[in-house]
Chain A
Amino acid sequence: MSPLRTLFRLHRTLGLIAALFFLVIVITGLLLNHAQALRLDSRYIPSSLLLRWYGIAPPDRLTAFLAGDHWITQLGERLYLDGQELHAHGSQLVGAAALPDMLLAAFDTHLLLLTPQGEVIEDVSSAEGLPAEVRAVTADGANVLLRTTRGDYRTDSQLLNWRQVETGAGHWPKPQPLPAAILEQVNEAYLGKGLPLERVLLDVHSGRIFGTAGVWVVDGAALILLTLVLSGVYMWLHRR
């Protein structure tokens, strides 16, 4: 068999082997080339299989308090009012309370005042005179009672001044299990809408979706393409 014929067979075999890879790379490449126009970064794949593959799952640490008719939940470092994620964070949620026109989430170093719709009214810390090391909070009508490691404090509904008081044992709300419906909403909110399509396409295009092995496979496909180009040009130059 002539060398040219051998080269032709090699060219054909390699082409067939790599055809599927080329198809994937071409399609993902074309899509990524127009990522902005196609708004790939704002389209999501809500696949639980993919999320598991990427290792995206809600953390185990969940703390929830009932404040009036609302649930204030901390999942990992994120905060939720009922099923809605809040644009605020806290260290460790230690309590929550409902006041006539606002909600209160207490952390060990600060208090978050919220509207019932979840807007932040104020973030109160030691800079605003908050006593240190908060451990629990409760509402007494329009007043707020705070338990800290250094004693109990009372303030008015405006939370402008704190006064040390003796409250006795009192009732200090504890974390409670979330109702199933709220838990589902919180988990969904935590996981987000899913994975951005652009992210997934980039990882498929580069092979990274299958880790290092995937990257090597795509490298191999690229080398095959190079071989096809070189062999194709050679054959064309030496055609009869």
Chain B
Amino acid sequence: MHRTWLLLLACISNIALAQGTYQPPEDFLKETFSGKVPEPRVLWITKDLRAEVNQIMGHEPGALRIRYWSQDGRTAWVLDEVGKEQPITTGIVVHDNRIEKIKVLVFRESRGWEVRYPFFTDQFRGATLKTDRQLDKSIDGITGATLSVRALTKLARLALFLTQQAHLEQ
């Protein structure tokens, strides 16, 4: 009987904790750059970039410039994309044009939060962008989290693309 209650409590707690801030973006940046976060830079989304971003994300970019942090060949992005109805804030680190790390920082929906776990996000490690702007790796989905999976996949592609553009500008 006690085990049943404990199991029920664990399930409720899991669901209750599904939404929320898993890691503040500022902490993500400190963790990424070992406490010494570099000065932010901005990448302006020109007309040409806009078309490419639109192709990757399936919609117009929400802003004319995107902030990023770069040091020693590593570039960190904090990007948002809507899963089903709410944006998922995601931190992405790119190194040598490959995904080094992808982390869900803030999850605002009641379903699909499984994408936060390493069993899913670790799939992106080492992924790079092909010429058709798709990832060179196949990412396995999660039943019941299709839209969240799709959102993170798009953000990974976007981060890789933006990093390429940022390097061209430097």
Q: Which residues of A contact B (CB under 8 A)?
A: 115, 119-123, 126-129, 158, 160-161
Contacts of B67 in A (CB 8 A): 122, 128, 160
Query: Could you say which of A123, A129, A161 contacts B26, with CB atoms under 8 Å apart?
Result: A129
Please tell me if B35 contacts chain A, counting CB pairs below 8 Å. no
Stretch of B58-66, B95-103, B121-129 that contacts chain A: B58-66
Q: In the bound complex, what is the Cα–Cα distance between A128 and B65 (angstroms)?
A: 13
Give residues in B with beta carbon < 8 Å to A. 24-26, 39-42, 62-67, 78, 89, 105
Contact A127 B63 (CB under 8 A): no
B contact residues around A158 at 8 Å (CB)? 42
Option from B40, B42, B63 in Cβ contact (under 8 Å) with A123: B63
User: Which 4 residue pairs of A and B lie closest in terms of their CB atoms, listed nearest first?
Assistant: A127-B25, A121-B64, A122-B63, A160-B40
A–B complex contacts, Cβ < 8 Å, 12 sampled: A119-B64, A120-B62, A122-B65, A126-B24, A127-B25, A127-B105, A128-B40, A129-B40, A160-B39, A160-B41, A161-B39, A161-B40
Residues of B within 8 A of A128 (CB): 25, 40, 67, 78
Chain A contacts for B78, CB-based, 8 A: 127-128
Residues of B within 8 A of A121 (CB): 63-65
Closest-by-CB residue of B relative to A112 is: B63
Nearest CB in chain A: distance from B45 CB, A = 10
Which chain A residues border B63 with CB–CB below 8 Å? Answer: 120-123
Q: Which residues of A contact B24 (CB under 8 A)?
A: 126-127
Report Cα–Cα, A219/B131, bound state, in Å.
61
Q: Is the CB of A123 within 8 A of B62?
A: yes
Query: How close is A219's CB to chain B, nearest CB, in angstroms?
Result: 35
**Are A120 and B40 also in contact (CB < 8 A) when A126-B26, A127-B26, A127-B89 are?**
no
Minimum C-beta distance from A237 to chain B (A): 57
CB atoms of A120 and B64 under 8 A apart: yes
A129 CA / B37 CA spacing, docked (Å): 11
Shortest distance from the beta carbon of A159 to any chain B beta carbon, whole Å: 9
**Complex: A127 Cα to B63 Cα, angstroms:** 15
A112 to chain B, nearest CB (A): 10
Given contacts A127-B25, A127-B89, A160-B40, 6 further A-B contacts (CB under 8 A): A120-B62, A120-B63, A127-B26, A129-B40, A160-B41, A161-B40
In the bound complex, CA of A123 to CA of B105 (Å): 17
| Chain B residues whose CB sits within 8 angstroms of the CB of A115 once the complex forms | 64
Question: Across the two chains, which residue of chain A brings its CB closest to B40?
Answer: A160
Which residue among B42, B64, B105 has the maximum number of chain A CB atoms within 10 Å of its CB?
B64
Interface centre among A115, A121, A161 (most CB of B within 10 A): A121
Closest to A129 in B: B26
